[in-house]
Structure 1
Amino acid sequence: MKAKFFIALSFFSCFIYSQKKEGDHIVRKKILITKTATSPKIDGILDDAEWQNVPVATNFIERTPNNGKPQEDSIKTEVRILYDDTGVYFGAQMYDPTPKKIAKELTERDAINNDDFFGVALNGYNDKQQSLEFVVTAAGVQFDAKLTTDGEDDTWNSIWYSAAKINDKGWAVEMKIPYSELRFPKSSIQEWGMNMFRRIQRIKASYDWNFVDNQKNSYTLFDGVLQGMENINPPTRLSFTPYISTYINSFDGKTTSSFNGGMDVKYGINDAFTFDMTLIPDFGQANFDNSILNLSPFEQQFSEQRTFFTEGTELFSKGGMFYSRRVGGEPSRYPTVSENEEVVEYPAKVKLFNAFKISGRTKKGLGIGFFNGVTQKMEATILNHETGEIRKEVVEPWTNYNVLVFDQRFNGNSSVSLVNTNVMRDGNFRDANSTGLLWDLTNKKNIYKTYGSLKGSWVRDGETKFGTRAEAGIDKIAGKNRFSLNGNATTKDWDINDLGFSTKTNFANYNAWYGYRILQPTEKFNNIYLNFNVNYFHRIEPFLYSNLIFNNNNSFTDKSFRTYGGGIESTPFGQNDIYEPRTFGRHLKIPAYFDTWIWFESDSRKKLQYNFTIDYYAFNETGRNQVLTEFGIRYRFSDKFNVSWNFNPDFSNNETGFAGKNDTDIFIGRRQRNTYENALTSKYTFNEKMSLALTFRHYFSDVTYKQFYTLNQDGSLTDTNNFNKNLNGTYNAWNVDLRFSWWFAPGSQLTLLYRNATSNYLETSRLNVKNNYDVLFNEPMVNNFSLKLTYFLDYNRIKSWTKKKGT
């Protein structure tokens, strides 16, 4: 049955892909760039002689909310473009009749809040598939990103120059983008894809130089054309970012200190490919993880906080097979100890020795990415209480991780990808490999797309285990009415957790989705999104119905730019949970539920912004329900200072979950769980290069078990007196970060960080607030001070310094 489904789906995919529609021709504006012998001063003042007598790009067109409406003369945008032997220059004047009302909130680099902004998207290969974005806010803050048909990757960072100034006409921007930061083919005559865009925050309107049709789902399809650049000789793309850092740590009455040094290297192999390497990396200032009390059958997934692993990773994220936290994560083994032995020291993390990545895309659309990382051998210390002997045991050997990706784009918005990940550990430790073939095919009119994947995983740990995962789907991605039909299947031995992240296995899922959206504002709403979903799940081996879910989501934005919505969800036949028993072939019956939620977010342009979500599950079982809530407030005291607070209390009453097992029985507990999470963020931004941020989080969750059962073969429960363990517990996590950042030069940063953290787990529950805090603050706390200095060195600048000294 499963095989027939995928064959039918693939056949229908090919049929949809072959259909054609007339019309929909995309008009591309063109502008001729002017070469200059001298460069304008980048100060945000457009009075340089170089800007005179230069063709003007104007007549911007509204993208949102009134798609296709010409920009009014009172708020028109005029852009002039120059180039020389070192880079491309943009001078933009954004007209505004009320300059005092221009939104210009100061933020850290790569953050845009309550801001007007101007940006450029440049595609050196002119293939409508890959652009580099350079954005400047009215406060002068830079934002950059890679833009592909898959979306925007804002982890990419570049070295470029800009300035913004409010003037009597509105505000102006000057930008210089060096060729070393761009990608384009070697050719005597260049023709680039380009679009330029502007945001006016107080009316929440977005405009583009080349019209962008919001019926389609890809911005890159709507590039205009930049012409006229000739005989560009790109400089050597080579840079070094050395760092030094120092740490002072205090914990449980002991103080330690350390001093570190290392370097990142970036080299442009050719016009398309870049080599990045980190030597002796230091990730000590990465943000803390939001840990929780995890009672599920699966590990908690954390977001990547380390800069090297977040920048320029769009190729490596293909297919969801690379989870970078595995590199330098927890050791893969725990020591084997005898009755008289105890593990007295166990490394929490594996040390990363070095890592590099090579990535880029050719002018024919072939993207290639290769990542390699090496981690050091880690040992645990074991004490024999009887003899006093101390021994070491390897818990993670020297290990090599690599990822290889080929991604071929074609026909404007389609791609086929091959992804391979591999982990090789020294000695008799576990090795792993996985491979995936992915396809994403969109028709020429960008209305329908078909997609799918075939993946395999191999794990060798004494014996070899092979698993597979497959997916296929059809989507209508344009117009008011959209739909999706898709299915996927995962075998029981699918396992990519050595370098990827996978949880649920041995299941198949079939999904149908319909969405409706308005594409132009109505009398009362700027936009409306309505979605309807149905999901069917079953276990593959042995076959077992698992779940049927009906879902409806609705979202509205009114004329006052308040966004709100809600929805409903139901599982009319209940669920057979095949994972909670933690035993292959067993399942736990979960009663049917009806879930409803509402949410609201106020106008973000105002100084006070607030939001809330209330989500209520009513189960078809007496006394069983769940309430999930989120409350948030943000107040902007000025363009420099803002504070936000989020409070998320969750309550789960009479839920059932795994408690333990022995040789014959699986035990399930009925429990009450209460969770409270508080998070406070405060930022003071001195200017576009210097900021101070305070981040606080306290997470508290307690669980109280009321009754225990034996799990029957049919998934039902029987009362038991054979299980009497105390599983009641309370988990606290407390984190405070106070961070000062100063971008004192392009690509160069000084960061001073104070960190205070503690956590505990108590084998009791139902503590009142005072007692809980008293116990928590009696725990040893980590107090950490760190200072890190990074400095960007460009090879071409170093060469020019050398030449000057020589003369």
Structure 2
Amino acid sequence: MKLLLGILLFFISNTFLHAQELDSIPRKNITIQRITNAPKIDGVLDDIAWEGAAIATNFVERQPNNGKPIPDSLNTEVKIIYDDLGIYFGAILQDPEPDKILKELTERDDISNDDFFFILLNGYNDRQQSLQFIVTAAGVQYDAKMTNGNEDSSWNGVWYSAVQINDKGWVAEIFIPYSELRFPKKDIQEWGLNMEREFRRARTRYSWSPIDNSKGAFSIYDGEIYGIKNIETPTRLSFQPYISSYINTYDGDTKVNFNGGMDLKYGINDAFTLDMILIPDFGQTKFDDAVLNLSAIEVQYNEQRAFFTEGTELFSKGNLFYSRRVGGYPSGNPELNDNEEFEEFPSSVDLVNALKVSGRTDKGLGIGFFNAITEKTYAKIRDTETNQSRKELIEPTSNYNILVLDQRFGDNSSISLVNTNVTREGSFRDANATGVYTDITNKKNTLKYWANLAGSWVMDEKTKFGTEGGTGLAKISGSNRLSAEVNFRTKDFDINDMGYSGYTNYINYYGYYGYRYLQPKGFLNNMYLNFNLNHQRRLQPDLYSEFNFNFNSNFTTKKFMQFGGGFETTPFGTQDLYEARTEGRHFKIPAYYDTWVWINTDYRKKLGVNAVVDWYKYDEKGRGRLMLEVYPTYRISDKFRVNLGTSLILSDKEEGYADRIEDDIIFGARDRNTIINSIESKYIFNNKIALNLAFRHYYSEVSYNSFYSLENNGELSSYASFGKEYDTTYNSWNIDLRFSWWFAPGSQLTLLYRNAIDSYIEDSSRNFSQNFDDLFNQPQTNNLSLRVSYYLDYNRMKNWFKSEDSSTAMIQNKKMGK
């Protein structure tokens, strides 16, 4: 352990000494001109503003034939201009068969079977974090933040676009206000820029600045845009008030409520933004894909609340923040007196408010601060003899904080410090975690190494301290790629108050070799082959846990069918360190052999299918698992698509924890059958109005056949049968029918009907009819809600109080197409 810590500290202390820049390859550039009269954003480049505009040309194929010039038949030219309000792009995208341009309508921030035009802008020109703006040939907008090639599509900007299909191809006209961009306060601006075009019929993509697919993320290959000077940075202040109403019916009881609140964004300066939510309302978030969890480890569900997913790239550093802890399950668990039972136990805590401050200085220092406050939450306890009720505090007023400092250097390296803190009022537990993370890429962008070290402190009845760390090195260029890393986590590492710990008390050694095609060969557009070795041991005290070999493959043909498969084995078996749910105990699992195959058909066609077959076989008679998944999708028209899904998992003689009786840890051998069916249907009226139906039914049945006692050596010995009291059938049923209307930029009306049912029955082997009778006899949640939010920009609002003949008002009206 001391040696490993020394290696980690060596890597971190030498971070800046090894910081290097990319090779000094000349970057493509363009110099643009200022205009005085803004063009109308209508998809027709006939305004005088476009005359004499700088033109970006000579696009190059990025994939599949990397580096090949764009054909003359697809000639692409982009005109770029700017004014005091923002930057404008007019893309002329030729197509020899304009009637065949693919333009499927989708909801905002979704791209399907579409041609599209893509802009990547980096106001700090650091090749690390950019903003991307995409418009499809159907006029649908998509935007995201791009950090070292990793896309965060939860970010939503307010910008303007229009497209027109003509007899030569199509045109995309785009206006991006400065209020949506981030750049230093300088008289002369130099930004990073790249642009791409997707030609969907041939599934080829072309970029303005050439991209080398053999190494690095594509975002580091941007060019530069010059000529922007002496612009007045606008006040970045916007409000998004909302009103909502809910009609909730549960078990015959109906409640109606009305809500109102507001989101606020304020640009503190050119670098930093305050994002605040006042009186939160998360009633229309997507339902969770609930499962029956029989394992020792908590299920980690995705965040669905927009405030916690948008603009959180800084807060994800180090994986110390699991945002669902904020407003999640209460931390208290009060003891019941004799003859008492819980009459009401809230499953979540109400959020009072939350704010984020984030940004990056001109020197590359990113700073992120997050704060949220939750209110007191009580359980209601009833005395079964007197029928009297009392309240018990299960979560006090609590404060959640994150501070992130992230220093970038070179063109693709960084070092970060992350601290999280939870402070609860009174005698409830408090927690703190701090980590240092470094990620360094060499000058040629061919080698990368990283290291991290973190500590956690939990203050409850006594203080608990734990650590985690790791380091690794990877070759990230060429056809042959390699990596090796080691990670550890001590048994007392606990970040569950604000993060997600999962497994603890291990050290893990990992190695990888991968081979890929850099250019199409034969009948294949690309091929990826990956070989992985993983060896895990218990850290304290040392104990072998697992040795795992994995091979997987991915092929894409020139007709754009994807297929692949793989093989995995634990040849020496596994000693599970967690399923016994008792410190110092483990459970032996025999060796398994897992093989799988999968296929994706060409999704340019109306019918597309994704199918997977996965089969586990253990070195134990009768024990195995089979998984079948089929996900067909059918595009009825460019407005109407239906996605279906069926997943079947059959597990025989699965062994796992069942109970604890005095000193005996009881395991059971169980058969488990799980079926998941889903439907998602979308009808898109136009690029602003959509109707979406989402349905999911999850069914899992567990039948125990025999029971065992877990011995100290991890083996199982026979135990008296318990009968059927541990058998289980679980159902989760969800239907969402959602109507969405983006009636103005940044503004939305959503009407949602929701039906949800859960059933947990201590029985199994029920037939189809019995199961659904049981399910629909459970109390149902029926919810009808309406939410309207309206985006208000300060720069627009102040013009409301000026005369309509002011030049600013005229420009604003013109750019919006009025």
| Partner in structure 2 of residue 695 of structure 1 | 694
Secondary structure of the corresponding residue to residue 190 of structure 2: strand
- Deviation of 1:461 (Å): 1.1
* C-alpha contact 1:16 1:448 (8 A) present in aligned 2: no
| Partner in structure 2 of residue 390 of structure 1 | 389
- Deviation of 1:662 (Å): 2.4
Which amino acid counterpart does residue 448 of structure 1 have in structure 2?
L
| Partner in structure 2 of residue 54 of structure 1 | 53
Secondary structure of the corresponding residue to residue 49 of structure 2: helix
Q: Do structure 1's residue 499 and structure 2's residue 519 form an aligned pair?
A: no
Which amino acid counterpart does residue 169 of structure 1 have in structure 2?
K
Cα 1:425–1:5 change in 2 (3 A) is closer
The equivalences for 1:203-242 within 5 A come to: 203-242=202-241
Quote the Cα distance in structure 2 between the aligned partners of 1:789 and 1:346: 31
The equivalences for 1:94-493 within 5 A come to: 94-149=93-148, 151-493=150-492
Cα 1:283–1:22 change in 2 (3 A) is closer
Secondary structure of the corresponding residue to residue 227 of structure 2: strand
Quote the Cα distance in structure 2 between the aligned partners of 1:47 and 1:40: 8
| Partner in structure 2 of residue 653 of structure 1 | 652
- Deviation of 1:336 (Å): 1.6
* C-alpha contact 2:120 2:130 (8 A) present in aligned 1: yes
Cα 1:454–1:20 change in 2 (3 A) is closer
Quote the Cα distance in structure 2 between the aligned partners of 1:581 and 1:489: 21
TM-score, normalised on structure 1? Answer: 0.98
Residues 277-315 of structure 1: CA distance to partner in whole angstroms, max 9, x if unpaired?
Answer: 000000000000111010000111110110111100000
* C-alpha contact 1:17 1:443 (8 A) present in aligned 2: no
Quote the Cα distance in structure 1 between the aligned partners of 2:652 and 2:749: 48
- Deviation of 1:779 (Å): 1.3
- Deviation of 1:13 (Å): 10
Q: Do structure 1's residue 617 and structure 2's residue 616 form an aligned pair?
A: yes
Quote the Cα distance in structure 1 between the aligned partners of 2:476 and 2:13: 16
- Deviation of 1:252 (Å): 1.2
Which amino acid counterpart does residue 81 of structure 2 have in structure 1?
L
Quote the Cα distance in structure 1 between the aligned partners of 2:805 and 2:424: 50
Residues 324-370 of structure 1: CA distance to partner in whole angstroms, max 9, x if unpaired?
Answer: 00001011112221112121111121000000000011111111000
* C-alpha contact 2:377 2:394 (8 A) present in aligned 1: yes
TM-score, normalised on structure 2? Answer: 0.96
Secondary structure of the corresponding residue to residue 230 of structure 1: coil
Cα 1:512–1:5 change in 2 (3 A) is farther
Q: Do structure 1's residue 729 and structure 2's residue 700 form an aligned pair?
A: no
- Deviation of 1:54 (Å): 1.7
Quote the Cα distance in structure 1 between the aligned partners of 2:604 and 2:804: 52
Question: Which has the higher mean CA deviation after the structures are superposed, 141-150 or 445-454?
Answer: 141-150
Which amino acid counterpart does residue 800 of structure 1 have in structure 2?
N
- Deviation of 1:434 (Å): 0.3
* C-alpha contact 2:11 2:450 (8 A) present in aligned 1: no
Quote the Cα distance in structure 1 between the aligned partners of 2:441 and 2:149: 12
Cα 1:526–1:271 change in 2 (3 A) is same
Question: Which has the higher mean CA deviation after the structures are superposed, 382-391 or 302-311?
Answer: 382-391
* C-alpha contact 2:20 2:410 (8 A) present in aligned 1: no
Residues 704-756 of structure 1: CA distance to partner in whole angstroms, max 9, x if unpaired?
Answer: 00000011111111101175571000000000000000000000000000001
- Deviation of 1:26 (Å): 2.9
* C-alpha contact 1:17 1:448 (8 A) present in aligned 2: no
| Partner in structure 2 of residue 560 of structure 1 | 559
Cα 1:601–1:243 change in 2 (3 A) is same
Which amino acid counterpart does residue 697 of structure 1 have in structure 2?
R
Quote the Cα distance in structure 2 between the aligned partners of 1:110 and 1:733: 28
The two structures, once aligned, show a CA RMSD in angstroms of 1.8
Quote the Cα distance in structure 2 between the aligned partners of 1:7 and 1:483: 24
| Partner in structure 1 of residue 707 of structure 2 | 708
Quote the Cα distance in structure 2 between the aligned partners of 1:587 and 1:745: 58
| Partner in structure 1 of residue 573 of structure 2 | 574
> Percent of aligned pairs with the same residue?
57
Cα 1:306–1:22 change in 2 (3 A) is closer
Which amino acid counterpart does residue 264 of structure 1 have in structure 2?
D
Cα 1:24–1:366 change in 2 (3 A) is closer
Which ranges in structure 1 are unaligned for 5 or more consecutive residues? none
| Partner in structure 2 of residue 675 of structure 1 | 674
Which amino acid counterpart does residue 495 of structure 1 have in structure 2?
D
Secondary structure of the corresponding residue to residue 804 of structure 1: coil
Quote the Cα distance in structure 2 between the aligned partners of 1:798 and 1:55: 32
Q: Do structure 1's residue 759 and structure 2's residue 772 form an aligned pair?
A: no
| Partner in structure 1 of residue 811 of structure 2 | none
* C-alpha contact 1:104 1:114 (8 A) present in aligned 2: yes
Which ranges in structure 2 are unaligned for 5 or more consecutive residues? 807-818
Quote the Cα distance in structure 1 between the aligned partners of 2:540 and 2:183: 51
The equivalences for 1:638-649 within 5 A come to: 638-649=637-648
Cα 1:8–1:469 change in 2 (3 A) is closer
Question: Which has the higher mean CA deviation after the structures are superposed, 49-58 or 680-689?
Answer: 49-58
- Deviation of 1:116 (Å): 0.5
Quote the Cα distance in structure 2 between the aligned partners of 1:70 and 1:24: 23
Count of matched residue pairs: 806
* C-alpha contact 1:60 1:207 (8 A) present in aligned 2: yes
Residues 125-173 of structure 1: CA distance to partner in whole angstroms, max 9, x if unpaired?
Answer: 1111111111100000001111111511111110000001111110000
Secondary structure of the corresponding residue to residue 324 of structure 2: helix
Secondary structure of the corresponding residue to residue 803 of structure 2: helix
Cα 1:20–1:755 change in 2 (3 A) is closer
Cα 1:469–1:210 change in 2 (3 A) is same
Cα 1:16–1:287 change in 2 (3 A) is closer
